[in-house]
Structure 1
Amino acid sequence: MDNRIGEMQVFLRVVETLSFSEAARSLRMTPSTVSKLIARLEARLGVKLIERSTRRLALTDEGRLFHERAGALLADLDAFERELAAGAGTPDGTIRVNASVAFGTLGLEPLLPAFWQAYPRIVVDLSLSDEIVDLYLDRTDVAFRVGRLSDSNLVARRVGVAPRKIVAAPDYLARRGTPRSIDDLDGHNCLGFNFRRSAPVWPIRSGGRIVDRMVTGTLLANNGETVRRMAVAGAGLARLGEYHARADIAAGRLVEVLAGTGDAEEIHALHLGGPLVPLRVRAFLDFVLPRLQAFLRAGPAG
Structure 2
Amino acid sequence: MDRLDDLTVLVEVVDSGSLSAAAERLGLSASAISRRIAQMENRLGTRLLARTTRRIALTDAGATFCLRARAILAALDEAEQSLTEMGEEPRGTLRITMPVLFGQMRVAPLLASYLHRHPGVSLEVSLNDRVQRLVEEGFDLAIRAGRLADSSLIARRLRPLRRHVVASPDYLERRGVPRSPADLVRHECLTLLSGSGRTEWEFMAGDRREILRPSGSFQADSLWLLRHAAVGGLGLARLADFIVEQDIRAGRLVPLLSELEVTDEAIHVVYPATRHVSPKVRSFIEHLLTGLNKPESADLPGSADLIDTSGA
TM-score, normalised relative to structure 1: 0.63
Partner of 2:148: 149
Partner of 1:23: none
- In 1, the alpha carbon distance for the partners of 2:268 and 2:109 equals 18
Q: CA deviation at 1:224?
A: 2.5
CA-based RMSD = 2.6
Q: 8 Å contact 1:130–1:224 — kept in the other structure? A: no
SS of 1:91's equivalent? Answer: coil
Partner of 2:282: 282
CA separation of 1:227 and 1:129: change in aligned 2, threshold 3 A: farther
- In 2, the alpha carbon distance for the partners of 1:205 and 1:220 equals 24
Partner of 2:126: 127
Q: CA deviation at 1:170?
A: 1.8
Partner of 2:110: 111
The amino acid that maps onto 2:284 is F
Q: 8 Å contact 2:89–2:118 — kept in the other structure? A: no
CA separation of 1:150 and 1:160: change in aligned 2, threshold 3 A: same
- In 2, the alpha carbon distance for the partners of 1:287 and 1:163 equals 22
TM-superposition CA deviations, 1:263-283 (whole Å, max 9, x none): 131221011121232321122
CA separation of 1:225 and 1:140: change in aligned 2, threshold 3 A: farther
- In 2, the alpha carbon distance for the partners of 1:240 and 1:276 equals 37
Number of residue pairs aligned between Structure 1 and Structure 2: 213
Q: CA deviation at 1:220?
A: 3.6
Q: CA deviation at 1:300?
A: 9.1
Identify which range, 209-218 or 248-257, moves more after superposition.
Answer: 209-218
TM-superposition CA deviations, 1:10-57 (whole Å, max 9, x none): xxxxxxxxxxxxxxxxxxxxxxxxxxxxxxxxxxxxxxxxxxxxxxxx
Identify which range, 116-125 or 197-206, moves more after superposition.
Answer: 197-206
CA separation of 1:198 and 1:132: change in aligned 2, threshold 3 A: farther
SS of 1:137's equivalent? Answer: helix
Alignment of 1:193-212 (within 5 A): 193-196=192-195, 200-212=199-211
The amino acid that maps onto 2:247 is D
SS of 1:125's equivalent? Answer: strand
Q: 8 Å contact 2:191–2:226 — kept in the other structure? A: yes
CA separation of 1:294 and 1:228: change in aligned 2, threshold 3 A: same
Which consecutive unaligned segments of at least 5 residues does structure 2 have? 1-86, 301-312
- In 2, the alpha carbon distance for the partners of 1:300 and 1:259 equals 21
Partner of 1:260: 259
Q: CA deviation at 1:125?
A: 1.7
Q: 8 Å contact 2:158–2:288 — kept in the other structure? A: no
- In 2, the alpha carbon distance for the partners of 1:152 and 1:193 equals 26
Q: CA deviation at 1:181?
A: 2.1
Q: CA deviation at 1:234?
A: 2.0
CA separation of 1:128 and 1:217: change in aligned 2, threshold 3 A: farther
Q: 8 Å contact 2:203–2:261 — kept in the other structure? A: yes
Q: Computing the radius of gyration over CA atoms, which structure comes out larger, 1 or 2? A: 1
Partner of 2:38: none
- In 2, the alpha carbon distance for the partners of 1:271 and 1:223 equals 27
SS of 1:218's equivalent? Answer: coil
Alignment of 1:117-266 (within 5 A): 117-196=116-195, 200-264=199-263, 265-266=265-266
SS of 1:108's equivalent? Answer: helix
The amino acid that maps onto 2:195 is R
Q: CA deviation at 1:186?
A: 0.2
CA separation of 1:110 and 1:299: change in aligned 2, threshold 3 A: closer
- In 1, the alpha carbon distance for the partners of 2:297 and 2:195 equals 30
Q: 8 Å contact 2:159–2:293 — kept in the other structure? A: yes
SS of 1:250's equivalent? Answer: helix
TM-superposition CA deviations, 1:220-256 (whole Å, max 9, x none): 4334223222222222211112222110101111111
TM-score, normalised relative to structure 2: 0.61
Q: 8 Å contact 1:96–1:126 — kept in the other structure? A: yes
Alignment of 1:56-135 (within 5 A): 89-135=88-134
| Percent of paired sites with the same residue | 36
